[in-house]
Homo-oligomer: A and B are copies of this chain.
């Protein structure tokens, strides 16, 4: 990510303008159909100057990820102290509302985002920091629950919820049912599963299964 170390307020505004222009063009003309030159022209910025802010379209997508991550962090911070199942459901509803305007962009870049050979992919090298931050937010979802599990289990639950969140978003990108009915049905099932599963974490075999699941997910999703 080539984020200029420090920008003047005017530079900051230009960067925002370029990002907003890019997102509008991606949404209306398509991600693959939009060139850096189109973005520069629509933002009234010279191509040369544009490249000082963003090296590539991938860089713009990373900037979108970062913006969404900051917003999402604020959402998590405002979650009331409720049972774990409710906190997860509520944060996922907020998540879907947040990414819905970018659904077409996500679908367009999903191929490269999911390619294991792409450093900028969701599980790639260059997105590691964003990923670690997102994992930590799901730890917070568990930690702030009125029925929060113990310190070790909070990390394990965070890892599992983070992975579940990735699967739900992936599913949603394929879901063409009206109002994303199928995705919300899965989310309801996750809610029921967490409601029933939470008390079971006091029972050693279930606690052991959670630990195993979290450990198995770690090499792919990253250490918490």
Contacts and interface: CB of A to CB of B under 8 A. Distances in A.
Given A123-B174, A209-B189, A212-B189, A182 B115 contact: no
Interface residues of A, number: 35
Nearest to A208: B192
Copies of this chain present in the complex amount to 2
Contact of A111 (B115, B175, B186): B115
A78 B43 CA distance: 63
Contacts of A185: 212, 215-216
Among A116, A181, A183, A189: residue with most chain B CB under 10 A: A116
Interface string A164-182: 0001000101111100011
A220 interface: yes
A217 interface: yes
A175 B220 contact: yes
A146 interface: no
Contacts of A114: 110-111, 114
Interface string A102-122: 000001101110111110000
